Amino acid sequence: MGLPPQVSSATGLYLVTFSKIASCLVYLLNGELDLPYSFWLGAWATFGSVIGMWLTNLYMRMSGRQSIIVWVLVFMFAISVIAIPVLGGLSIKQEMDLGKDIFKFNTICEK
């Protein structure tokens, strides 16, 4: 018998949170973390999350269905599937136009 879905979901979110805290700590210790920008971004992300959750709960109470969550996830996934290759390809093309050898391997220690 497996774990209930809530336990496995909470465990996954705990691991993601732990890894994000660890990576932020590494950047902070290396002096590469821009704290004012981090706080600015964090404040807007929190504000957007609260407003989004409030509007989603309002819609679910009015309609009685939870399908809005699935459709938002489908929409975000579709945008990602299109945007990531397009923007990545444009970035690679720009680097090639500047004469950068995109197939060259660099050492890890090189800055």
Angle between helices 35-63 and 67-97 (to 10 degrees): 150
Average pLDDT over residues 50-77: 89
First to last CA, the chain: 50
pLDDT at 80 over 90: yes
Q: What is the pTM of this model?
A: 0.55
pLDDT score for 104: 83
- Condensed to tens digits (0 to 9), the pLDDT of residues 22-61 reads 999 999 999 999 999 999 999 999 999 999 999 988 988 9
Residue 31 φ/ψ region, left for φ over 0, alpha for ψ in the -120 to 50 degree band, beta for the rest: left
**3-state SS string for 16-77:** HHHHHHHHHHHHHHCCCCCHHHHHHHHHHHHHHHHHHHHHHHHHHHHHCCCHHHHHHHHHHH
pLDDT score for 60: 87
- Condensed to tens digits (0 to 9), the pLDDT of residues 2-26 reads 556 655 666 777 888 889 999 999 9
